[in-house]
């Protein structure tokens, strides 16, 4: 399960991302023309597109300016508005509007497309390795490695990759690889990038980064040189959005391996994403169509990846945001959810504790239609027959672009990725114990809905151990069958029959970061100090309907314990 792979391209100069960014200026010119043509083919006139874009940009620079914005931002959009008004006074403003449109497209694409510097990447790799090794050694008190800076072997033992890793490595030269991970924390990008390169032995990937992160000069320096492309979520005008989606599709077509977080943002509930941003996935389908137009055998190779921690840095703030959305006026916001420096320090201490680990579980590589791609680069159906992707893009034997058809393909691809997430999710002790404890509470407080239960004082929901163990036996039987059937992956720590060990591991992993104990045990009971956090970690097993498979009849006589510790 835990392997460190030899790098498939040891020389950074030969990495696709390095070659791509050496030709950055030429790529931007091509991308400009690609976006221009896409907008020309749309159902909207340039006059309407420009009017809306310039209006929204003037609003943005007035209402929401950022330090990272160009110094001339305000003047630029004001002057462009005047230029457009002047152009519209001509009898034939077409050429003038085309020129204005191309200038805007170039401005946006020059901002979006990032850069890559091999020397900076090498430094970042050494720096992160040294820091991670030191953290492991510090928080293990020198027990492993014995040196101040720690052991690389210890570091690698904490960062685990498994699943279809070797298949992904062998497919790297068969097309453009698109990694689509689950997303729980702001730390995901840096951790995924590091593990893919150092542990899985893959060249660096491009990834999207919010423009707000560039407000910090040091962060901006490195992201500008490590393959990030910039995403400004303030800009919702049609021209910018076309530039952004075209960057995704055209860069895939030009061979830039990418990481897309298909959920679009971090999971607020703690559950694995089941609703994906179809715009990003649509970019992959468009890139595949461009390959087919070129008669190229290359494919967009999509690899779903499940990212796993036993605990999440932002869990308290994430679940607070989620409950505010679903609870609306019924939910009172918790004011104490800001992430502090001490929170981050405690998180890393917990993450790098002796038994804590982080994993990347690789799903089966698929094409943009969700078909399996084998090591030969061909797509296969469920019966093992080779599939020709051209057939998906034909209409009456002619290759064609059909937006409605590709929207359907995008939805089907999203479903395949969600299915892969569930199948390749590694169920850890903390996930199971949290899920089961909250489900027991839900089961025996049918008089209350979920929001009402979360408002209870934690002392009102103590669960007798004998009840919990009874349900744990039932859950383990179901999960082990599902593991054999390939519906999910059970962590090795859950292969034991010792219920006390499973409970202790779950409590340890779920409780070693947060100031309040998510789960703890007394002599007779399992308890929590924070029902919202318990709910958040419970949600990691949402989507399987595990609660419907459990044998609840064996604990039907259970009654809740009141605040004084007496049975009600």
Considering the domain architecture, whether residues 431 and 418 belong to the same structural domain is answered as: no
Residue 139 falls inside a structural domain: no
Q: At 98, list the tokens.
A: 């085309």
pLDDT of the residue at 278: 86
pLDDT of the residue at 334: 62
Considering the domain architecture, whether residues 419 and 537 belong to the same structural domain is answered as: no
Residue 560 falls inside a structural domain: no
Residue 96 falls inside a structural domain: yes
Considering the domain architecture, whether residues 179 and 37 belong to the same structural domain is answered as: yes
Considering the domain architecture, whether residues 413 and 432 belong to the same structural domain is answered as: no
Q: Which of 400, 424, 448 is the last residue of a domain?
A: 424
Residue 330 falls inside a structural domain: no
Q: Give strand ranges (E) for 146-265.
A: 159-163, 175-181, 206-210, 228-231, 258-259
Give the integer Cα–Cα distance in Å for 406 and 410. Answer: 6
pLDDT of the residue at 148: 46
Residue 215 falls inside a structural domain: yes
Q: Which of 424, 449, 478 is the last residue of a domain?
A: 424
Strand duo 525-527 + 520-521: pairing: antiparallel
Considering the domain architecture, whether residues 86 and 210 belong to the same structural domain is answered as: yes
Give the integer Cα–Cα distance in Å for 156 and 2. Answer: 8
Cα–Cα distances in angstroms (integers) from residue 360 to residues 249, 357, 531, in the given order: 25, 10, 28
Considering the domain architecture, whether residues 370 and 261 belong to the same structural domain is answered as: yes
Q: What angle, rounded to 10 degrees, do the helices at 24-40 and 94-112 form?
A: 130
Considering the domain architecture, whether residues 304 and 158 belong to the same structural domain is answered as: yes
Considering the domain architecture, whether residues 415 and 459 belong to the same structural domain is answered as: no
Residue 132 falls inside a structural domain: no
User: What is the count of structural domains for the chain?
Assistant: 2
Considering the domain architecture, whether residues 83 and 210 belong to the same structural domain is answered as: yes
Q: Which of 424, 458, 483 is the last residue of a domain?
A: 424
**One digit per residue, pLDDT tens: the chain, 568 residues?**
446 899 999 999 999 999 999 999 999 999 999 999 999 998 889 999 999 999 999 999 999 999 999 999 999 999 999 999 999 998 889 999 999 999 999 999 999 999 999 999 999 988 888 777 665 554 554 454 444 455 667 777 778 898 999 999 999 999 999 999 999 988 788 889 999 999 999 999 999 888 888 888 888 888 889 999 999 999 999 999 999 999 999 999 999 999 999 998 889 999 999 989 888 899 999 999 999 999 999 999 999 999 987 778 788 889 999 998 888 767 666 655 566 666 666 666 655 555 567 789 999 999 999 999 999 999 999 999 999 999 999 888 888 888 899 999 999 999 999 999 999 999 999 999 999 999 999 887 888 888 888 988 888 888 999 999 999 999 999 999 999 999 999 999 999 999 999 999 999 888 666 778 899 999 999 999 999 999 999 999 999 999 999 988 876 655 544 444 444 4
Residue 217: its H or E element:
helix 217-223
Considering the domain architecture, whether residues 403 and 522 belong to the same structural domain is answered as: no
Residue 243 falls inside a structural domain: yes
Residue 262: its H or E element:
none
pLDDT of the residue at 567: 42
Residue 564 falls inside a structural domain: no
Considering the domain architecture, whether residues 209 and 248 belong to the same structural domain is answered as: yes
Quick one: DSSP state of residue 567?
B
Residue 180: helix, strand or coil by DSSP? strand
Q: Find residue 228's DSSP bridge partners.
A: 207
Say whether pTM exceeds 0.95.
no
Instruction: Show the domain range for 495.
Output: 426-555
Give the integer Cα–Cα distance in Å for 286 and 448. Answer: 48
Give the integer Cα–Cα distance in Å for 132 and 193. Answer: 14
Residue with tokens 């008669």: 295
Considering the domain architecture, whether residues 440 and 459 belong to the same structural domain is answered as: yes
What's the CA dihedral at 354, 156, 136, 258 to 10 degrees? -120
pLDDT of the residue at 561: 45
């Amino acid at each position: 399960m835990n392997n460190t792979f030899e790098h498939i391209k040891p020389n950074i100069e030969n990495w696709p991302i390095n070659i791509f960014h050496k030709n950055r200026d030429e790529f931007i010119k091509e991308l400009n023309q690609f976006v221009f043509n896409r907008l020309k083919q749309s159902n909207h006139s340039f006059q309407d597109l420009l009017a809306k874009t310039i209006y929204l940009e003037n609003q943005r620079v007035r209402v929401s300016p950022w330090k990272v914005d160009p110094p001339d931002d305000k003047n630029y959009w004001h002057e462009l508005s005047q230029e457009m008004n002047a152009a519209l006074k001509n009898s034939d403003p077409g050429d003038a509007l085309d020129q204005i449109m191309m200038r805007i497209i170039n401005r946006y694409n020059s901002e979006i497309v990032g850069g890559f510097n091999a020397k900076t990447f090498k430094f970042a790799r050494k720096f992160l390795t040294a820091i991670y090794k030191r953290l492991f050694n510090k928080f293990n008190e020198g027990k492993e490695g014995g040196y101040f800076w720690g052991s690389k072997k210890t570091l690698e033992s904490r960062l685990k990759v498994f699943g279809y890793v070797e298949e992904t490595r062998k497919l790297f030269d068969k097309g453009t690889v698109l990694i689509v991970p689950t997303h729980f924390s702001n730390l995901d990008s840096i951790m995924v990038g590091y593990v893919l390169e150092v542990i899985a032995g893959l060249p660096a990937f491009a990834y999207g980064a919010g423009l707000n992160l560039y407000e910090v000069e040091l962060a901006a320096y490195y992201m500008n040189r490590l393959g990030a492309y910039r995403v400004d979520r303030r800009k919702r005008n049609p021209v910018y959005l076309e530039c952004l989606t075209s960057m995704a599709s055209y860069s895939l077509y030009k061979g830039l391996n990418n990481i897309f977080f298909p959920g679009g943002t971090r999971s607020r509930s703690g559950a694995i994403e089941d609703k994906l941003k179809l715009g990003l996935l649509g970019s992959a389908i468009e890139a595949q169509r461009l390959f087919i137009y070129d008669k190229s055998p290359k494919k967009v190779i999509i690899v779903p990846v499940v990212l796993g921690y036993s605990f999440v840095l932002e869990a308290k703030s994430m679940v607070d945001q989620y409950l505010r959305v679903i609870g609306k006026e019924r939910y009172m916001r918790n004011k104490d959810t800001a992430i502090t420096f001490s929170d981050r320090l405690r998180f890393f201490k917990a993450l790098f504790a002796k038994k804590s680990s982080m994993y990347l579980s690789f799903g089966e590589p698929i094409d943009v239609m969700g078909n399996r791609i084998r090591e030969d680069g061909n797509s296969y159906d469920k019966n093992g027959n080779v599939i020709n992707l051209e057939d998906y893009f034909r209409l009456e034997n002619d290759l064609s672009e059909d937006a409605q058809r590709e929207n359907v393909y995008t939805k089907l691809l999203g479903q395949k990725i969600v299915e892969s997430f569930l199948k390749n999710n590694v169920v850890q002790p903390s996930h199971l114990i949290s899920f089961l404890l909250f489900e027991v509470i839900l089961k025996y407080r049918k008089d209350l809905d979920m929001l009402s239960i979360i408002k209870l004082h934690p002392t009102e929901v103590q669960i007798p151990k004998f009840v919990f163990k009874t349900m744990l036996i039932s859950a383990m039987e179901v999960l082990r069958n599902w593991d054999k059937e390939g519906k999910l992956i059970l962590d090795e720590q859950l292969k034991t029959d010792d219920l006390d060990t499973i409970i202790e591991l779950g409590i340890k992993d779920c409780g070693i970061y947060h100031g309040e104990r998510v789960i703890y045990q007394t002599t007779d009971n399992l308890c929590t100090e924070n029902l919202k956090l318990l709910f958040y970690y419970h949600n990691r097993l949402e989507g399987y309907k595990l609660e419907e498979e459990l044998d609840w009849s064996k604990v039907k006589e259970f009654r809740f314990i009141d605040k004084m510790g007496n049975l009600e």
